[in-house]
Amino acid sequence: MIRRLLKKSEASEPVQESNAGHNKTYANASKNADCSEFEVNNWIVSEFIVDRLVPIVGTHPFPLTELTLMSASVVRFRPKAIFEWGTHIGKSARIFYETARAFDIACQVHSFDLPDDVEHVEHPHEQRGELVRGLPVKLYQEDGVTGALRICRKGKISDDKVLFFVDGDHEYGSVKRELAAIAKNHPRAKILLHDTFYQSPKSHYNVGPWKAVEEFTKNNKSYKRVSTNTGLPGMTLLYKAK
Ligand SMILES: C[S@@+](CC[C@H](N)C(=O)[O-])C[C@H]1O[C@@H](n2cnc3c(N)ncnc32)[C@H](O)[C@@H]1O
């Protein structure tokens, strides 16, 4: 089975820090928040992505479709806290931080990766969190879902204002366990998951995350699902309509 792994060359793809427009804030791009379907103003979100995000994080591992779903989720749901794993070099953490800042959303990003002595093919070691170094993003080293649930409980934030981003080991069993734990403890939280693209077996892709999402949504029919599905790696948003 071929697994999509973030190669070292991808991880260290040149990231050009640009100050162009860095302090610009954007108009509220959430649309029809009282309706059942997810919607944002795509033009405003696109302008933000092109001007602000791409110069910082590039398009690996998150292509434009996924940068859109990540930033649109923050813009639409205005979370007070985001819990994500794994941190790796900090691209997703930086994307969430920049989005909240640009759209004037008071939100704390918490990012988890495994301890240094835990073996994992993608463990970033000394590069862990380098894209958020010096920024007010909280970094932790422990199993993501375990730490996230503990800290989320302490923060006493309404479930509705919490966003989880699941981007750990991409195994079917892990994603299934993580989704179940989030839904049980924070039933109204929004959930974004990475590497959820489905392709038929001849592709030899790892479709474990897709399978976990598929089963979860069959058993939890109150969740709505928005997915990027034009190609790898694929991202899915799960949320409950009001
Ligand atoms: C694909 S990378 C994540 C990319 C990262 N979100 C980014 O934007 O740069 C997967 C990361 O998850 C970490 N990881 C794997 N299992 C984990 C777990 N159970 N808890 C926390 N982190 C985990 C790995 O060490 C690795 O750094």
**Model confidence pLDDT, tens digit, residues 133-177:** 999 999 999 999 999 999 999 998 999 999 999 999 999 999 999
- 130 is a domain residue: yes
Ligand 1 binding pocket includes 6 (Cβ within 6 Å): yes
Distance, CA of 36 to chain centre: 22
pTM for this model (two decimals): 0.92
122 lines ligand 1 (CB under 6 A): yes
Q: Phi and psi of 203, rounded to 5°?
A: -70, -20
The answer to the question of residue 46 being in a domain is no
Position 30 in a domain: no
Q: Considering the domain boundaries, does residue 227 fall inside one?
A: yes
Residue 85 lies in a domain: yes
Residue 205 · residue 152 · CB < 8 Å? no
User: How many structural domains is the chain composed of?
Assistant: 1
Residue 8 confidence (pLDDT) above 80: no
Q: Containing domain of residue 169, as a range?
A: 58-240
pLDDT at 22: 76
pLDDT digits (tens, 9 = 90+) for 63-98: 999 999 999 999 999 999 999 999 999 999 999 999
Give the Å distance between the CA of 168 and the centre of ligand 1: 4
| Residue 221 located in a structural domain | yes
Helix (H) or strand (E) holding 225: strand 223-228
Distance, CA 170 to ligand 1 centroid (Å)? 9
Q: Residue 162 belongs to a domain with what CATH number?
A: 3.40.50.150
Q: Which of 226, 178, 228, 233 is nearest to 205 (CA)?
A: 233
CB-ligand 1 contact for 98 (6 Å cutoff): no
